[in-house]
Amino acid sequence: MPTTASANQDSERMQIMPPLLKNLASRLEAGAAHVGIFGLGYVGLPLALRFAETGIKVTGFDIDANKTELLNSGNSYIERITPAEIQAALKAGFMATTDFSLTVGLDAQIICVPTPLDAHHQPDLSYVINTVEAILPYFREGQLLSLESTTWPGTTEEIIEPRLRSRGFVPGHNCALVYSPEREDPGNPHYTTADIPKVIGGTTSVCLELGQALYGKAINTTVPVSSTRVAEMSKLLENIHRAVNIGLVNEMKIVADRMGINIHEVIQAAATKPFGFVPYTPGPGLGGHCIPIDPFYLTWKAKEYGINTRFIELAGEINHYMPHWVVQKVADALNEQGKAVKGSRILVLGLAYKKNIDDTRESPAVEIMSLLEQKGAEVAYSDPHVPEFPRKRDYHFDLASVPLSEESIRHFDCLVIATDHDAFDYEMLHSHARLLVDTRGRFTGGNNVVLA
């Protein structure tokens, strides 16, 4: 259960809290607050369902009417969230809407919208800014606003707070403003939204207290930090840590390949050391919304302070190169069989960015498909979690997932394992593929297997 302070501590906090926020504090502590979640994607929807599960009234906001209609009809558009979970939330009072005017009836508002990079690899905060601007006409005194979207340190104080103040809302006085970075790991059965500790930073100490009161009702452990900047930086460090280590192991894979060494066997051997080593697995590149994007938010902001983040940028270059590495391995493997990439039928196995999920955001599999198509290959894909190729800003494939059978496998000149879903029958793939290029270490090698 969430940790709560003693009655005496609560009383002391209430005494120093401005009058306009005392009612909010009481409603949050009592679990009587009405919470709004803005952005009903892979982060916002699980969070909304978790609040609803605890008995808190939740309204979900999204600009996509198709999403809100699906949710209100008891259906889900995210594979790991079942219709039964949506229907249970609806019974508990959850509703989804595109009507931002309903903001006026909320006690707390949580922004969970995308923060992508633009065409020049610069931070794109347009989704955050547009959401705040849509909320502001209906914002009122005594409300709490929380940002969860990953961003550069200073965003909450430099982008959101001035907009609140321009309307007469002063955080810690007549409203509350916090930053609490999202922490989701799709496909990980060991950690639910409730189980993952929640870092929270407030623009004032009062804001922090109110933020803890909000999230403490839904999240088992809250982690207060001294400022929103610390909270913002903590999220970037988490993902940069992974990006840099993945970049390292991807570079090691290239070196090992040149030396004729199986990098996966090397990692398994190194991982037997009981201290000082954390195993990271190489792959065809980085995917998901966070790891390929978040490091660039810090490198961009660091330039404002005259700092070049060379270590981070180098890891980014290595990881960005990996789809090209895979395509070259495919070309070399086909060449060994006397075939060119141009005109070859190539099936990419796995479209999601990691196994056993349906999330294709920034998936290296998509980039591999694009590069192969540019070289003249006839490209198809198979993914049991992604039945049709989704709409994307930069990639356009009018394709549906190819069902796997002995006959369909033999139809292709080459199969590329880009995402190693557990649902794939690897024995069948190995037995009937003319050529297998494995980017995930599912195989140790063989006459028809090339490790990439």
The number of beta carbons lying within 10 Å of the beta carbon of residue 434 is: 16
CA distance 175 to 178: 10
CA distance 228 to 176: 12
Tokens of 16: 């120093």
Question: Between vectors from CA 262 to CA 261 and to CA 263, what angle results, nearest 5°?
Answer: 105
**Which residue among 112, 175, 290, 414 is the active-site one?**
290
Q: Are strands 222-225 and 34-38 parallel, antiparallel or unpaired?
A: unpaired
Is 248 within 8 Å of 263 (Cβ atoms)? no
Is 395 within 8 Å of 305 (Cβ atoms)? no
Cα 216 to Cα 34, 88, 365, 381: the distances in Å are: 15, 21, 38, 43
Instruction: List, in sequence order, every residue forming a beta bridge with 147; answer none if it has no partner.
Output: 111, 179
> Which amino acid is it at 235?
K
Cα 21 to Cα 24, 174, 209: the distances in Å are: 5, 6, 11
Torsion sign across C-alpha atoms 413, 419, 423, 427: positive
Instruction: List, in sequence order, every residue forming a beta bridge with 224; answer none if it has no partner.
Output: 200
Is 81 within 8 Å of 53 (Cβ atoms)? no
CA distance 86 to 440: 34
Is 80 within 8 Å of 187 (Cβ atoms)? yes
Tokens of 423: 């649902």
Say whether 435 sits in a helix, a strand or coil. coil
Is 326 within 8 Å of 257 (Cβ atoms)? no
Cα 133 to Cα 118, 129, 166, 276: the distances in Å are: 20, 6, 12, 47
Tokens of 357: 């999920």
Say whether 199 sits in a helix, a strand or coil. strand
The number of beta carbons lying within 10 Å of the beta carbon of residue 365 is: 27
Alpha helix positions (H), 19-59: 19-30, 44-53
Q: Please say if 112 is a catalytic residue.
A: no
Cα 297 to Cα 153, 163, 287: the distances in Å are: 9, 21, 16
CA distance 305 to 198: 29
Residues recognised as catalytic: 290
